[in-house]
Amino acid sequence: MARTGMSPALRKGPANRPKRSLDETRAIWLEAFRRVRAETERRASHLSAEDQIVQSMADASPAKWHRAHVTWFFEQFLLVPHDAAYRVFDERFPFLFNSYYVAAGPRHARPQRGLITRPNGAEVAAYRAHVDAAVERLMARVPAEEADSVFTIVEIGLHHEQQHQELLLTDILHAFAQNPTDPVYDPKWQPPRMTLGPRGYVDVPAGVHAIGHDGDGFCFDNEMPPHDELIPRVRIARHLVTNADWLEFISAGGYTTPSLWLSDGWTTVQNESWQAPGYWRQKDGAWHAVTLGGLRPVDPAAPVQHVSYYEADAFARFAGKHLPSEMEWETAARHDIIADAFGIAWQWTRSAYLPYPGYRAVEGALGEYNGKFMVSQMVLRGSSLATPEGHERVSYRNFFYPPTRWQFSGLRLAEFI
Ligand SMILES: [Fe+2]
């Protein structure tokens, strides 16, 4: 979710759904719009004004910026083209809150988002309210002949905002991890429970399988087109790799054994002095980890989080196993043979983030959502504890650069037969 992207190719908007009256369609999208917009504010409500300004690294964005950027998205891609009466809230905001859409105009440098103390939080709240009111007005009044295109963009905007809801949490967690006083995002936060049951490996059905989005619901363009892939004889771990597994890796010298690592990974281990997953700290002689609930003892039974692709790859080598390909993962998930595919940790695969056969990004600014990032990144599948409810799906392709570990990223293993 990098960052976010999608395109209106994103097909299968409301027009392709079961036939509803226009009034029913308006009501459905009004409810969805209010629900998703409110969830962003709920997540931000745990943060002070100071929390919402900070940018702890170039890859992370301030919470205030996320709240404004997702609002700009509706303004830029929905209101400006589809509401002739709409007036931009502030002519300076598009420059500040455009992320990476070159076709949408020039933009502020990403690493300097944390320097934007003005507009302040109240002004961003007013921006959100202004755009919310305009979107609701548009949805209530759009004539039938324009309804499909309007509600398709509303749908894209909501999925985009949900991606930023996850980033809002991962980004503030990274900021809090830089603070020696161990700030707590939510004192009541509890990690999701892992599915119990036998560990071990299960056979992925070998042969030709359909991969990619084939349903009626929403998808991003990178999940298209659906196509056939040949799945080899492979077994996949029923469960995610745990902290106990990772403690074995550490104590066996995993972080000090160059033969376990890709060359770029070993260089990163050296440069970053990695000795454990992201956010792990030694305290009173025991490993602790920075979580949304603050600094807590590492639970050996919980899935490992905040590991990079390089670490996932090294661990698989250490274990004498492999990472699954994204196609093997999707086939296993479609056959419902793996536990905790969703809702705990994104799972690194050994697949490079590449276009599916025949993929083309759509024309225009929204075509920049996914396609232009299809180089040098690796695919993660599933979803995480920070993924908003209802946002995950079996064909979803998340992608990050191999050293990345501020996301809720873990792994499951595979073995070839
Ligand atoms: Fe975005």
Q: What is the pLDDT of residues 354-368, one digit of tens each?
A: 999 999 998 878 888
Q: What is the pLDDT of residues 180-212, one digit of tens each?
A: 999 999 999 999 999 988 899 999 999 999 999
Amino acid 1: pLDDT: 39
Rounded distance between C-alpha atoms, residue 256 and residue 290, angstroms: 23
Contact (Cβ atoms closer than 8 angstroms) between residue 201 and residue 241:
no
Amino acid 7: pLDDT: 35
Residues of the chain by 3-state class (helix, strand, coil), percent to 5? 40, 15, 45
For range 271-289, the mean pLDDT: 97
Amino acid 44: pLDDT: 98
Q: Please give the distance, rounded to the nearest whole angstrom, from the Cα atom of residue 356 to the centre of ligand 1.
A: 22
Q: Please give the distance, rounded to the nearest whole angstrom, from the Cα atom of residue 70 to the centre of ligand 1.
A: 6
Helix/strand/coil for 234:
strand
Q: Please give the distance, rounded to the nearest whole angstrom, from the Cα atom of residue 121 to the centre of ligand 1.
A: 19
Question: Looking at the whole model, is its pTM more than 0.85?
Answer: yes
Q: Please give the distance, rounded to the nearest whole angstrom, from the Cα atom of residue 36 to the centre of ligand 1.
A: 15
Contact (Cβ atoms closer than 8 angstroms) between residue 409 and residue 237:
no
For range 298-306, the mean pLDDT: 97
Q: What is the pLDDT of residues 257-277, one digit of tens each?
A: 999 999 999 999 999 999 999
Name the DSSP class of 382.
S
Amino acid 17: pLDDT: 57
Q: What is the pLDDT of residues 68-83, one digit of tens each?
A: 999 999 999 999 999 9
Q: Please give the distance, rounded to the nearest whole angstrom, from the Cα atom of residue 116 to the centre of ligand 1.
A: 17
Q: What is the pLDDT of residues 367-405, one digit of tens each?
A: 888 889 999 999 999 999 999 999 999 999 999 999 999
Would the pLDDT of 8 be above 50?
no
Q: Which stretch of DSSP H or E encloses residue 17?
A: none
Phi-psi region of 321 (alpha: psi -120 to 50; beta: other; left: phi over 0): beta
Q: Between vectors from CA 121 to CA 4 and to CA 184, what angle results, nearest 5°?
A: 75
Q: Please give the distance, rounded to the nearest whole angstrom, from the Cα atom of residue 2 to the centre of ligand 1.
A: 8
Q: Give the residue, 248 or 11, on which the prediction is more confident.
A: 248
Q: Give the residue, 222 or 16, on which the prediction is more confident.
A: 222
HEC profile of 387-408? CCCCCCCCCCCEEECCCCCCCC
Helix/strand/coil for 322:
strand
Q: Please give the distance, rounded to the nearest whole angstrom, from the Cα atom of residue 69 to the centre of ligand 1.
A: 7
Amino acid 102: pLDDT: 83
For range 78-90, the mean pLDDT: 97
- When mean pLDDT is compared across 5-14, 200-209, 251-260, 296-305, the lowest value belongs to 5-14
Mean pLDDT, rounded, of the chain:
94
Contact (Cβ atoms closer than 8 angstroms) between residue 327 and residue 229:
yes
Contact (Cβ atoms closer than 8 angstroms) between residue 94 and residue 74:
no
Q: What is the pLDDT of residues 312-345, one digit of tens each?
A: 999 999 999 999 999 999 999 999 999 999 999 9
Q: Please give the distance, rounded to the nearest whole angstrom, from the Cα atom of residue 250 to the centre of ligand 1.
A: 36
Would the pLDDT of 416 be above 90?
yes
Q: Please give the distance, rounded to the nearest whole angstrom, from the Cα atom of residue 51 to the centre of ligand 1.
A: 20
Neighbours of ion ligand 1 (CB under 5 A): 4, 99
Q: Please give the distance, rounded to the nearest whole angstrom, from the Cα atom of residue 380 to the centre of ligand 1.
A: 18
* Residue 356 structure tokens: 């599916």
Q: Please give the distance, rounded to the nearest whole angstrom, from the Cα atom of residue 213 to the centre of ligand 1.
A: 22
For range 280-299, the mean pLDDT: 97
Q: Give the residue, 48 or 197, on which the prediction is more confident.
A: 48
Q: Please give the distance, rounded to the nearest whole angstrom, from the Cα atom of residue 369 to the centre of ligand 1.
A: 8
Q: What is the pLDDT of residues 12-46, one digit of tens each?
A: 444 455 679 999 999 999 999 999 999 999 999 99
Closest by Cα among 175, 185, 52, 172 to 124: 52
Q: Please give the distance, rounded to the nearest whole angstrom, from the Cα atom of residue 164 to the centre of ligand 1.
A: 7
Q: Please give the distance, rounded to the nearest whole angstrom, from the Cα atom of residue 208 to the centre of ligand 1.
A: 35
260-to-59, 209, 318, 397, 403 alpha-carbon distances in Å: 27, 32, 6, 27, 16
Rounded distance between C-alpha atoms, residue 294 and residue 183, angstroms: 6
Q: Please give the distance, rounded to the nearest whole angstrom, from the Cα atom of residue 289 to the centre of ligand 1.
A: 28
Q: Please give the distance, rounded to the nearest whole angstrom, from the Cα atom of residue 29 to the centre of ligand 1.
A: 20
76: Cα within 13 Å, side-chain hemisphere: 26
Q: Please give the distance, rounded to the nearest whole angstrom, from the Cα atom of residue 73 to the centre of ligand 1.
A: 7
Q: Please give the distance, rounded to the nearest whole angstrom, from the Cα atom of residue 75 to the centre of ligand 1.
A: 13
Neighbour count for residue 60 (Cβ, 10 Å) = 24
Q: Please give the distance, rounded to the nearest whole angstrom, from the Cα atom of residue 221 to the centre of ligand 1.
A: 15
Q: Please give the distance, rounded to the nearest whole angstrom, from the Cα atom of residue 107 to the centre of ligand 1.
A: 13
Closest by Cα among 32, 224, 213, 217 to 136: 32
Q: What is the pLDDT of residues 160-183, one digit of tens each?
A: 999 999 999 999 999 999 999 999
